[in-house]
Amino acid sequence: MVKRINFINPFGSSAYDDIIRKTLSHYCASDTELAVTHLENCPTDIDFFYSKHLIEQSLFEAVMVSEEQGYDAVIVGCLYDPGVRVARELVDIPVVGPLEASFQMAAYYGHSTMVLTDHRKAVPYIQDEARLNGQGHTVRGVDAIDWFVKDMINDRRAVADDVVRLSREAAQRFGAETVIMGCTIIAAIYQEYLMEGGEPSAVPIINPNLMALKMAEGLADLHRSGGYFVARQGFYMKPTGHFDAEFRNARKVWNASKPIFAR
Amino acid sequence: MVKRINFINPFGSSAYDDIIRKTLSHYCASDTELAVTHLENCPTDIDFFYSKHLIEQSLFEAVMVSEEQGYDAVIVGCLYDPGVRVARELVDIPVVGPLEASFQMAAYYGHSTMVLTDHRKAVPYIQDEARLNGQGHTVRGVDAIDWFVKDMINDRRAVADDVVRLSREAAQRFGAETVIMGCTIIAAIYQEYLMEGGEPSAVPIINPNLMALKMAEGLADLHRSGGYFVARQGFYMKPTGHFDAEFRNARKVWNASKPIFAR
Amino acid sequence: MVKRINFINPFGSSAYDDIIRKTLSHYCASDTELAVTHLENCPTDIDFFYSKHLIEQSLFEAVMVSEEQGYDAVIVGCLYDPGVRVARELVDIPVVGPLEASFQMAAYYGHSTMVLTDHRKAVPYIQDEARLNGQGHTVRGVDAIDWFVKDMINDRRAVADDVVRLSREAAQRFGAETVIMGCTIIAAIYQEYLMEGGEPSAVPIINPNLMALKMAEGLADLHRSGGYFVARQGFYMKPTGHFDAEFRNARKVWNASKPIFAR
Amino acid sequence: MVKRINFINPFGSSAYDDIIRKTLSHYCASDTELAVTHLENCPTDIDFFYSKHLIEQSLFEAVMVSEEQGYDAVIVGCLYDPGVRVARELVDIPVVGPLEASFQMAAYYGHSTMVLTDHRKAVPYIQDEARLNGQGHTVRGVDAIDWFVKDMINDRRAVADDVVRLSREAAQRFGAETVIMGCTIIAAIYQEYLMEGGEPSAVPIINPNLMALKMAEGLADLHRSGGYFVARQGFYMKPTGHFDAEFRNARKVWNASKPIFAR
Amino acid sequence: MVKRINFINPFGSSAYDDIIRKTLSHYCASDTELAVTHLENCPTDIDFFYSKHLIEQSLFEAVMVSEEQGYDAVIVGCLYDPGVRVARELVDIPVVGPLEASFQMAAYYGHSTMVLTDHRKAVPYIQDEARLNGQGHTVRGVDAIDWFVKDMINDRRAVADDVVRLSREAAQRFGAETVIMGCTIIAAIYQEYLMEGGEPSAVPIINPNLMALKMAEGLADLHRSGGYFVARQGFYMKPTGHFDAEFRNARKVWNASKPIFAR
Amino acid sequence: MVKRINFINPFGSSAYDDIIRKTLSHYCASDTELAVTHLENCPTDIDFFYSKHLIEQSLFEAVMVSEEQGYDAVIVGCLYDPGVRVARELVDIPVVGPLEASFQMAAYYGHSTMVLTDHRKAVPYIQDEARLNGQGHTVRGVDAIDWFVKDMINDRRAVADDVVRLSREAAQRFGAETVIMGCTIIAAIYQEYLMEGGEPSAVPIINPNLMALKMAEGLADLHRSGGYFVARQGFYMKPTGHFDAEFRNARKVWNASKPIFAR
């Protein structure tokens, strides 16, 4: 019996679905059925926090629908882990973010790690995440490769070369034993480069998509066998009781009126 | 020449405007013009993270409009500090949240503090905020009074009595010298109780609305005299360059299609 | 194609193999072949650090042999995570400890957690582990149930009842949303109790055996598909170069002369 | 009705009063009456901890006299925040230090900050202050410009040029978005340079004198309207009870015999 | 050849010299010559920060004179460690504070510790010290016994009984394995109680006077054999160069005019 | 009456005894009788964690025998502090590790410190130790000099020159005022270089052997005069009760069968 995982690219664009599918399928468990999907009616890029917020609103819908469709787990495929914690308020299936999953699994790859993300604006955001969710004090730093996602997809070889060079420099500067590739698309580009025979980085690079996949598969197994649950008496209390009617109303209206983006 | 502050109640309801206006006006600087406003077309309560997210989307609009209308500073009147950091990405006037302002000013009231918030779900949220934004290690704990906002407004005396009793118990349990009242509405109810001659709490209680007001006034002064600016090369980089068109488009469409809530 | 996991009970006794096998098999992935084994020629209990050290020496051998036998991952089944980090120096297959795995996966079960271990002596040990390897600041405390492992196995119902009662009390005292059961055998006893229809704890209890199993399965997949590696330039540098001859000699002599325990 | 602020230069010299008055007056609230004063009978410089200690003894007197003279708030104008915490033990008006105020308000200027102070000896002192009183983990580092105060005042342009150059270098080295100018006099010199049309630093520089001024004005408002108080049951317990007579005696004798400095 | 240690009671009173001498002499190394002295012309109690500051001014003189008199090390006998760090700026002999020494040596007595001090006002002060100077995270809490020093000396048996009872309660509340007695005089009273055959506390109590003595003896040995030095390029830079004349002048004037206390 | 200290070189080799004896004797207290010993039947080097573990097993025996032979304290002479914490479980005499002792005493030498160890593999290990046992936040970094112990002993002058050069560079990079020499043998070589008239390092270097010696002497004094004890109710609970027979058996068998190393 298969476990079904929905890897949602949280962008209003199908541009990144192929490379994720291409670089992730090989690593699936033998009984995993992996869907790679994207959002609609929301910004195509998540570079700024305003667009991240609009995207998250669409994502909540996609996560709730995933649960209704019988998925066993959802991955939100961006290193911002956009909307992941709020989404856990809404559904009973596991919701996995690649940044948190990488923090959680990095210890198996080396004693310390760091994050090398796409551009400068994300650095302080990820530093805060590392402080709240990094394993102990093992995340030694965060730095940026200074590429925008929309440009990367068109010049993959240059991205892969930068990854190899900048990972080595950054790991030395921060004293980290491994590097978490801090952007799902960069990680996919680097993985594709390896699959095409590229020379691996001297400093071990952790692909966050793989970490999210394995975490999602494990939790999906537990969900199916009765071993997964979310504590509902605190942070993840569900909108029940007096809030239930309001929630249903809000969700319905949102769905009726959601913005139509020109792209 | 007056400084104009917009205290936005981030709720789709006018129910809380009066008590905020009533309990805050007395403390304004002599040259402050204080507006107390609320949002429209969004949930009336912020108890759950899904509704907080929808409210924030409306709030961004309200903050951008406030700048256009010439306000010198904005206060987002809820202890979640909803949308405060994202809003700073969008405008050049100061955006102040009462929780952060209370963390920043608590040291003038005592050596350590704690937060007593409304209900259980907010406790871990505020703990994370204290870790990221508390002054040093001075926030000794977070606890809840277990009232929902919508019920409080109708039984103010019972709320005030609970505030006095639970502040004393919580401060002792956590070893804190002062208590930040962790809900703008509870804080206003307690302030009204004091204005009506109620016996003050034995443990000093910090009213976050006052802290936000004073921080907003100081920053408004600086904004008017050329002493305020936001570093735009990192976290608060504005949506300019290739993103500008997309941002304008997104905002326009959002405004055209925003959900109509039945209340 | 199956993935083979060796769950090693790090005790010189077969007494705990059955209950682990009984309570873990149900949760295996469909393509997992789970072995539950134990050590020989070493102490039967790990209550004291001296015996833990002797056990670890035997464990290293068991882990190296597991790699030679083609296992895809090893779990060291005790909440001390005995020898886990040193073992990673010696082999290229993933070595998983249930305490670290529980810290890593607890965030999917609730916003914060704590550990309830067997007896007092383990509390400061686990506190240090939480400081080095806990996710952010989410491990709110460590407490003990005050049972010795050798007694527990004979009075399982009393153990399960204590687990339910003490988890609730401890979670409230530390303000934690979930409880990591801090002993593999207690966790198995509680799991058996649930399988026999026992009333679940009001506070969600995380079974560390399940967390270790899922982490091991995910890493085993990655190991088989070429996605697992250990950074060998730092902490986990392997005994190669001038050390290699000495290592081989040491290991051979150890194997020839290892102590014979009377039990 | 005006609020009266006493900005005390904690040096036994009038040499720095003019530049503070010149660079601060423009930023006062419309109803602020700002006095800029200095100490007498104490060392002219605060470079060493022994002289800092003697200066603080004189400062306590000046703060108590300020309260008697009806000031609504006091600023102690040196980045060591000399005597600030002890002074709060003695008076009921707010006592503000520019370092603490800068830590408290820096978040409105950028996501992270650092301090660039005058000379090497102050660096570890400020690092300790950042650990105790910095907002979360936002103070990324402390560095020195290596000028002594007494030399700076005579070569202002060279100081301003160094500020611009070294702020950029230091911010990059520590990954900070803004720089707190870690010396009140350097900050005033840089402010004067800006007022005379100098090119602003590429990295935003926070003037601690402005931060202290705004914090003092806000607290002065609250003090006048009944919204300011100090928790007196712990760290800031006042010398009352059995200590009162001794305190009065000590203060009187100190005043009669205080050292006369030759300058 | 003996090593000479000056244990300075930082109080303007000889009231505590005898009990320190009585309870410390037994523990001296065989070649230690221990002097127990006190200050003059300063407050008799250190309960408040204002009096602590005056006392420190007198202490600096006493420490400089101790170096001139050939002492090999100085202990400042109060748990506030009053003036210890500033004094290191002034002399080349070791200056030891009992609180810092207790933090440094507590690990030999148990895995974790806490401080039980005299009264409430000292609790936050010691918490800050623990954060800056505690060993790792081993100081689990600080609490007060609520006795004033001047009263204790007259009712020693009651103090000893409270120490035994409150240490047990506090250690359990904070989960600490040992208790540092947070007041030199309480510690001496408890030591005297033990010497007179009193029943030892169930929870091990660390006497800070002993810790300071042993640290001072070790450093005195090193000082005499050329193994002690203070880094003078940073925090402990001595007042030399342009500051030297001012320092000499200040010290001379201070000595001529120091306040005469009536007692 | 003398105090007897056993400095155990935790290596299966006598190669390092002479240099330790030569560079440590001068600093002993006048009543100290210092033995410098080594282990047998275990690896000659401790570079890898597997050999460290075997060495520790031999060390436990040596520590227990030291207590039986009447030593007043034991020093384990390697910067890994190998087996130190476990050994405290087994004996009632003080067991001192040079790394922990250096962390504890570094504050007397400067405001901050760092560790410069031998090779890369030890860096993360010492970082973890600094986090658990460093004084506050004073350990600013850890770096490696990249020499293996077995090579150092044959080219001492080159080692001393590297120590001087690399200490200066590392202290500047991490902003540390002093450097703890992170290898007992490097420290001895540098001490010998000084004794032979070598130019001292510009950045003060802390010799961990001296720190361990002074800590051991102080604790030995306390042990002899009744002032030393170990809390036995938690982490350091001794193997008594039902475990005693097993412990005795294990130890006897270990002694009979311990591995014979060919060297």
> Measured between CA atoms, how close is A128 to chain D, in angstroms?
9
| Lowest-pLDDT range of A139-148, C68-77, F10-19 | A139-148
Identify the band that residue B152 occupies on the pLDDT scale cut at 50, 70 and 90. confident
- Identify all chain E residues contacting B136, using CB atoms and an 8 Å cutoff: 131
DSSP line for chain D:
--EEEEEEE-SS-STTHHHHHHHHGGGS-TTEEEEEEE--SS-S--SSHHHHHHHHHHHHHHHHHHHHTT-SEEEE-STT-TTHHHHHHH-SS-EE-HHHHHHHHGGGT-S-EEEEESSTTHHHHHHHHHHHHSBTT-EEEEEE----HHHHTT-HHHHHHHHHHHHHHHHHHHT-S-EEEESHHHHHHHHHHHHTTPPPPSS-EE-HHHHHHHHHHHHHHHHHTT-----TTTTT--S-GGGHHHHHHHHHHHHHHPPPPP-
What are C6-45's pLDDT values in tens digits? 999 999 999 999 999 999 999 999 999 999 999 988 888 8
Cross-chain Cβ contact A111/F124 below 8 Å? yes
Q: Which chains touch E (3 or more CB pairs under 8 A)?
A: B, C, D, F
What are D158-193's pLDDT values in tens digits? 999 999 999 999 999 999 999 999 999 999 999 999
- The per-residue pLDDT for F263 is 37
Closest Cβ opposite residue E131 in set B111, B137, B177: B137
Tell me F123's DSSP state. Answer: H
Identify the band that residue C71 occupies on the pLDDT scale cut at 50, 70 and 90. very high
Rounded CA-CA distance E175/E178 in Å is 9
What are C114-141's pLDDT values in tens digits? 999 988 999 999 999 999 999 999 999 9
- The per-residue pLDDT for F251 is 81
What are B214-245's pLDDT values in tens digits? 999 999 999 999 999 999 999 999 987 767 87
Identify the band that residue C257 occupies on the pLDDT scale cut at 50, 70 and 90. low
In whole numbers, what is the pLDDT of chain C averaged over residues?
92
With CA atoms as reference, the chain F residue closest to A112 would be F124
Distances (CA, A) of A144 to A10, A225, F3: 21, 41, 58
- The per-residue pLDDT for E262 is 42
Average pLDDT over every residue of E85-94: 97
Please state the ipTM of this predicted complex. Answer: 0.95
> Measured between CA atoms, how close is D194 to chain A, in angstroms?
28
Q: Is the pLDDT of residue F104 over 50?
A: yes
- Identify all chain E residues contacting B175, using CB atoms and an 8 Å cutoff: 123
- The per-residue pLDDT for E42 is 87
Percent of chain B with pLDDT over 90: 80
Cross-chain Cβ contact E123/D56 below 8 Å? no
- The per-residue pLDDT for B119 is 87
- The per-residue pLDDT for F41 is 81
Residue from B123, B129, B143 to probe the interface with C (highest C Cβ count within 10 Å):
B123
Query: What tokens does B10 get?
Result: 């981030």
Rounded CA-CA distance E182/F258 in Å is 47
Percent of chain C with pLDDT over 90: 80
| Residue in A33, A127, A150, A29 with CA at minimum distance from that of residue A79 | A127
Q: Is the pLDDT of residue D260 over 70?
A: no
Q: Which helix (H) or strand (E) is E74 found in, with range?
A: strand E73-76
What are F164-178's pLDDT values in tens digits? 999 999 999 999 999
Looking at the DSSP bridge assignments, the partners of residue A37 are A8
Average pLDDT over every residue of D113-121: 94
- Let me know: does C87 contact C95? Beta carbons within 8 Å: yes
| Residue in C94, C72, C105 with CA at minimum distance from that of residue C4 | C72
Cross-chain Cβ contact D231/B109 below 8 Å? yes
What are E1-44's pLDDT values in tens digits? 799 999 999 999 999 999 999 999 999 999 999 999 999 888 88
- Identify all chain E residues contacting B111, using CB atoms and an 8 Å cutoff: 124
Cross-chain Cβ contact D124/F137 below 8 Å? no
With CA atoms as reference, the chain F residue closest to E2 would be F30
Closest Cβ opposite residue A257 in set B131, B150, B258: B258
- The per-residue pLDDT for D220 is 98
Q: Is the pLDDT of residue C146 over 90?
A: no
With CA atoms as reference, the chain B residue closest to E128 would be B137
With CA atoms as reference, the chain C residue closest to A84 would be C108
- The per-residue pLDDT for C262 is 41
Q: Is the pLDDT of residue B255 over 50?
A: yes
Average pLDDT over every residue of F180-189: 95
Q: Is the pLDDT of residue F99 over 60?
A: yes
Closest Cβ opposite residue B229 in set D103, D109, D135: D109
- The per-residue pLDDT for E207 is 98
| Residue in C228, D233, E237 with CA at minimum distance from that of residue B110 | D233
What are B114-147's pLDDT values in tens digits? 999 988 999 999 999 999 999 999 999 999 988 7
Cross-chain Cβ contact B242/A150 below 8 Å? yes
Rounded CA-CA distance C93/C87 in Å is 10
Residue from A49, A114, A125, A127 to probe the interface with D (highest D Cβ count within 10 Å):
A127
Q: Is the pLDDT of residue E240 over 80?
A: no
Backbone angles phi, psi at B76, to 5 degrees: -100, 105
- The per-residue pLDDT for A262 is 42
- Identify all chain E residues contacting D47, using CB atoms and an 8 Å cutoff: 239, 243
Instruction: Render each residue's pLDDT in chain A as its tens digit; 263 residues.
Output: 799 999 999 999 999 999 999 999 999 999 999 999 999 888 888 889 999 999 999 999 999 999 999 999 999 999 999 999 999 999 999 999 999 999 999 999 999 999 999 889 999 999 999 999 999 999 999 999 887 667 777 888 999 999 999 999 999 999 999 999 999 999 999 999 999 999 999 999 999 999 999 999 999 999 999 999 999 999 999 987 767 877 887 787 677 666 555 43
Percent of chain E with pLDDT over 70: 95
- Identify all chain D residues contacting B207, using CB atoms and an 8 Å cutoff: 227
Of residues C241 and E68, the one with the higher pLDDT is: E68
The number of beta carbons lying within 10 Å of the beta carbon of residue E186 is 26
What are D210-246's pLDDT values in tens digits? 999 999 999 999 999 999 999 999 999 998 776 788 7
Cross-chain Cβ contact D53/E45 below 8 Å? no
- The per-residue pLDDT for F68 is 96
What global pTM score does this model have? 0.96
Looking at the DSSP bridge assignments, the partners of residue C37 are C8
Average pLDDT over every residue of F212-235: 97
- Identify all chain A residues contacting C230, using CB atoms and an 8 Å cutoff: 108-110, 204
Residue from C2, C214, C215, C224 to probe the interface with A (highest A Cβ count within 10 Å):
C214
Q: Is the pLDDT of residue E260 over 60?
A: no
What are E99-114's pLDDT values in tens digits? 999 999 999 999 999 9
With CA atoms as reference, the chain E residue closest to B173 would be E173
**Residue-range domains of chain D with CATH:** 3-97+212-262 (3.40.50.12500), 100-207 (3.40.50.12500)
**Touch between D and E (at least 3 CB pairs under 8 Å):** yes
> Measured between CA atoms, how close is B123 to chain C, in angstroms?
9
Q: In what order do the strands lie in the sheet with F32-38?
A: F32-38, F3-9, F73-76, F95-96
In whole numbers, what is the pLDDT of chain F averaged over residues?
92
What are B158-183's pLDDT values in tens digits? 999 999 999 999 999 999 999 999 99
Cross-chain Cβ contact D250/E50 below 8 Å? yes
Q: Is the pLDDT of residue C187 over 90?
A: yes
Q: Which amino acid is at D260?
A: I
Cross-chain Cβ contact D31/B27 below 8 Å? no
Query: Taking CB atoms and an 8 Å cut-off, how many pairs form between chains C and F?
Result: 137
Closest Cβ opposite residue F253 in set C235, C253, C261: C261
Cross-chain Cβ contact C228/A108 below 8 Å? yes
**Touch between D and C (at least 3 CB pairs under 8 Å):** no
Residue that is written with structure tokens 């010439």 in the block: B70
Rounded to whole angstroms, the maximal C-alpha distance in chain C is 58
Q: Is the pLDDT of residue F107 over 90?
A: yes
- The per-residue pLDDT for A169 is 94
Rounded CA-CA distance A221/C105 in Å is 14
- The per-residue pLDDT for B91 is 97
Percent of chain E with pLDDT over 90: 80
